[in-house]
Structure 1
Amino acid sequence: MEENESLNRAMQECGYTQAGLADAVNAHLRSLGHEGTVSDRTVRNWTTGKSRWPHPRQRDALEAVFGRTADEVGFSPPAGRRSPSTDPEQPVRRRNFVTAAAGTAAAVVPLVAPRPTMVGTTDVIRLRRGLDELVSLDQSRGGHGELECLALNGAEQTLDMQRRATSQRIRQRLFAVAADYTGTAAWSALDARQFDRAQVHLEKSLYLAGMAQDPVALFDVWNMYAILARQRQDFPRAVDAAYAAQATTITRRDPMFASLAHARAAIGHSNLGDKQAALRSLGYAQEALGKATPDEPRPSWIAFYGPAELSAMTAIVRDDVGDPVESEAASHKALSQIPEQFRRNRALATAQLALAQLHQRDIEQACSTADKVFDLMTGNPLPGRMRSLLGDFYRDLITLAPDAAVAREWGDRYRLEWSRE
C-alpha cells in the first residue's frame, strides 16, 4: 500500500491536520445540504493510500477545499473507471474558503463560481465577503498555514476574474481585492513569524495595490512592513515604513488610519530608545483617534484598531521605554475594551500585561497573568508572534527570579504548552 504523497503535500501546504481536513470537507458537504460523515480515520485512509478513490461527493468536496482536481491530490479511479470530475476538459478553478468555528476550520464560503460571462460589481462584493471571512478567522485563531494558503487562493481567483472585468474601474477594484487577499496571506505569515514568506507576499501586495491605485491597500502594506521590520529588529526601517503609511492619502481623509500609523511609529521609536519621539507619536495617535468617526465604512481588516488597540500599543511603548507601571495600566485598559471575539488580540494584550508586572518584580502575579494566555488560546496552536512574546517573558522571568518556585512551575507549563504545538 503506497502513501498518497500528493495529498500529504497539499495538506502540508495548506496547514491541514487530518482532523482539520475532515472538518473542512464535512463543512462543504453540509453547505450543499449533505451529511458530513468524513472522520479523522477517513482522512488517514486517504493519506496512507488505503482508500484510493473517495465517494463522488467527498471527491467534489476535496477538489473545492484544495482548488485542485482529485488527480492532482493523488487520487485515481479503479481500473476501467473514469470520473467526470477528473476529465481534463472540466473547469477546475473552484475555490472555496474556510472560516472558523469551535477553533477549527469548519465552514466553507463559496465565492464566485467561474463562468464565461463578464465580471462586475456583484462579483467584487462576493469576493470581498470571502475576504471578510478570512479576517474573522485570523481574529479568532491568529496566523497559520491554512489561512495563508486560503488567502493566496483568493488572490489567485480574483486575478483570474480580473481578466474578464467589465470596465477599467472593475479591473482596478479587483486588483485592490487581490492586494487585500495577498496582504492577508502576508499577515498570516507575519503572525506565524515566517518572515521570508511574509516579505514575498508583501512585495506582491504592494505591486497589486499600486496597480489598483488604492490608498487603503497601500496603507495596509506599509503598516505590515512596519510590523515585519520590528519583528526582524530592523527598527529604523520600522519607523520608515510607519512614515510611509502616514504619507498615504487615506490618512488625510480618515483619521483612524492616521492614528494607527502614528501608533506604529511610536513603537518603532520606543524600540530605538527614543522615549520623547515615542511619546510624541502616541500623542498624535490619540489626537487623531479622537477625530475619527467610529461607524464610518472601512475594510474589515482594520476593525481591530480603536481605543482598545491603541491602549495595547501604548502598553508596548511604555514598557519599552522603561515605564512598566504605565504599561500595566494601559494593558488593563486595553483588556477592558478588546471585544471577546478577538481572542488572539486579548491573548497578546494579556502577555504584555504579564511582562509589565514582571518588570515591576511582581513575580507571582506575572506568572498567574501569563497562564491566562494559554487559557485564552485553548483549542488552537499559539501563533508564532505570541510564542515569541511568551519566550521573552520566560527569558526575563528566569533572569529576574531564577530560583523562585512559581517561576519553575510556570516554566514547566510553558514547556508543556510549547510541546503541544
Structure 2
Amino acid sequence: MDATRNEALEAWMDEHGHSSNSLAEAVNRALEQVTGRPGGLDGSSVRDWKAGRVRWPKSATRKALEAVTDLPATALGFVPRGRTSSIPAAQQEDPEMKRRTLVGGIAAAAAAPGITGTRRIGMSDVSRLQQRFAEIIASDHRYGGELGIEQRAAVLADEALNLQNAGSATQIVRNNLYACAASFRSSAMWAAIDGRRYADAKTHMREAQALAEMSGDQTIKFRIWSHAGAMYRHIGRPAEALAANDVARNLHITRRDPMLASLGLARQAAIYGAAQDHTSTRRYLEQAEDALQRATPDAYRPTWLLAFYDQAELNSLALSAYLALGDYPTAEFHAHRCLATLRPHMRRSQAITTTRLAHAQLAQGDIEAAVGTAMKVPADAATHHARVSRMLQEFGAALRARGPHSSTVQTWTEHTRNWKAAA
C-alpha cells in the first residue's frame, strides 16, 4: 500500500513559509544543540517525511523538529511505531477546508500545553534574528568599524535577550536565543575593534562571553575569543593576544572543523608576527594552509565564518604577519595573492590589504608604485574607516620622511586633500 502523505507537516510548512531545504537546515541547527554535532538532513529527508516514507523520525531528530516547530511530533502528523494514523483518509474533502482543519488542529496543539494568551517563542523567531545577523555581517564587510554597525548590533543583542521574557520556549530555543545575542554582541565587539574603540570593545567582549557560555554554542565562543586575540594584537599586547586566541583554538569544535582550526592558526601566526617571532609565524602559517586544504566545502558552518574566511583571508593574515616582521617582499607577495582572490563584497578587507601593500612597497623603496597603490584606496574607506585612516596617515609620514619635497609627495598630498574635501 502507498504511504500516506503527511499533510499536517505540509500544512505547517506552508503556514511558516518553509521549503524542504530550509526546514532541513533549521532542524540541523537544532540537532547541533541537542547532540553537539551538526545534523546531516537535507531536502530529501524532509520530502521523505512529507511523502509518508518516514513516519516516525529518530529520537534526536524528533526532538530537534519539535524545537523548531514548538509542536509535538504527533501534532505534525508523525505516527509512533506500532500505531496507525488517527487521521482518516478523506479523498473527497475540499482541499482548502482540509488545509484549514489541519492548521487549526496544529494551532490547538500548540496552545494546549501552555497558558492561554502566552506567546510561544520558537525557532522561527530565532531564524528571523539569524537573518538580521547575516545583514550585520554584510554591513561589516562592506563598511567595517562604523559606530552605527556597533550600535545596531548591540540593539539586536538586547532584542534577542528580550525574547527570553516574551513568552514560553523550549530549552533549545532559549539556548539559540542566547547564541543569537552572543553573535550580535560579538559583532558589536568587532565593529568597535575595527573602529579602534577598544574600551567599548572590551565591554562588548565581556557581555558576549557570558552570553556564549549560557548558549553552549562552540562556534560563537570561538568567534568571541578569536576576536579578543585580534583586539589584543591591535593594541600591542601579544602575550594576552596569544592567550585569548589559544582559548579559541582549544575548543573541541576546531578538531572537528579544519576551517575553524585554520582560522585560529592563521590568527596565531599574525600574533607571532607582531611579537617578532619569525619561526613561529612561518610554522603556524604552514599549519593554517594545511588545515584549510583539508576543509570540506559541503560541511555546515556558521554564516559569519563562511562570509569571510577563505584563502584570501589567510593571505591577508600572512600579509599582516610578514609586514610586522619587516619581511616586505614576502608581505607584498601575500598582498597580491589576497587581492587576486578577494571576494567582491569584502570592500573593507580590500581597502586594508591595498593600504598594507602600499606600506610593503614603500619599505622596499618602490615609491611611485607605493603611492599609486595607496591612491587606489576608496575615499570612503580612507576617511571613515579608523584602521585604514590610521595606516594611510602612517604611510604619508613614511613617504615624507623619504623625500619631503619630491613630486611624488606633492602628488600624494594633493590626493589626500581631495579625499578630505569629498568626505
Q: Taking structure 1 as the reference length, what is the TM-score of the superposition?
A: 0.69
Task: Quote the offset at 1:381 in angstroms.
Answer: 4.9
Which deviates the most, 396-405 or 317-326? 396-405
For 2:378, which of 368, 374, 378 is the aligned residue? 374
**Conservation of the 8 A alpha-carbon contact between 1:165 and 1:171:** no
Task: Quote the offset at 1:116 in angstroms.
Answer: 4.9
1:244 matched to 2:209? The reply is no
Equivalent in the alignment of 1:44: none
Q: How is 1:1-400 mapped onto 2 (pairs within 5 angstroms)?
A: 116-163=118-165, 164-302=167-305, 303-374=307-378, 377=380, 381-400=383-402
**Conservation of the 8 A alpha-carbon contact between 2:146 and 2:195:** yes
Task: Quote the offset at 1:398 in angstroms.
Answer: 2.2
**Count, aligned residues:** 305
The one-letter code matched in structure 2 to 1:156 is D
The one-letter code matched in structure 2 to 1:214 is D
CA distance in 1, matches of 2:353, 2:183: 26
CA distance in 1, matches of 2:366, 2:230: 29
Deviations 1:132-180 (A, max 9, x none): 0111111111121211111111111100112335111111111000000
Pair 1:399–1:241, CA change in 2 (3 A): farther
Which deviates the most, 266-275 or 237-246? 237-246
**Conservation of the 8 A alpha-carbon contact between 1:263 and 1:285:** yes
For 1:404, which of 396, 401, 406 is the aligned residue? 406
CA distance in 1, matches of 2:386, 2:304: 20
Pair 1:135–1:367, CA change in 2 (3 A): same
Deviations 1:169-226 (A, max 9, x none): 1111110000000111111111111111111001100110011111111111111111
CA distance in 1, matches of 2:264, 2:394: 25
Pair 1:419–1:207, CA change in 2 (3 A): farther
CA distance in 2, matches of 1:206, 1:360: 42
Aligned partner of residue 317 in structure 1, secondary structure: helix
**Conservation of the 8 A alpha-carbon contact between 1:266 and 1:282:** yes
The one-letter code matched in structure 2 to 1:306 is D
CA distance in 2, matches of 1:236, 1:278: 14
Deviations 1:114-135 (A, max 9, x none): x951111111111101110111
The one-letter code matched in structure 2 to 1:168 is Q
Aligned residues with identical type, % of pairs:
32
CA distance in 2, matches of 1:381, 1:178: 31
Task: Quote the offset at 1:401 in angstroms.
Answer: 3.3
**Conservation of the 8 A alpha-carbon contact between 2:383 and 2:419:** no
Pair 1:360–1:292, CA change in 2 (3 A): same
The one-letter code matched in structure 2 to 1:239 is L
CA distance in 1, matches of 2:420, 2:246: 36
- Structure 1 gaps of 5+ residues are 1-114
- Structure 2 gaps of 5+ residues are 1-116
**Conservation of the 8 A alpha-carbon contact between 2:383 and 2:389:** no
The one-letter code matched in structure 2 to 1:314 is A
Task: Quote the offset at 1:334 in angstroms.
Answer: 0.6
Aligned partner of residue 336 in structure 1, secondary structure: helix
Which deviates the most, 232-241 or 169-178? 232-241
**Conservation of the 8 A alpha-carbon contact between 2:259 and 2:291:** yes
Aligned partner of residue 304 in structure 1, secondary structure: coil
CA distance in 2, matches of 1:386, 1:250: 33
CA RMSD of aligned residues (A): 1.8
Pair 1:403–1:147, CA change in 2 (3 A): same
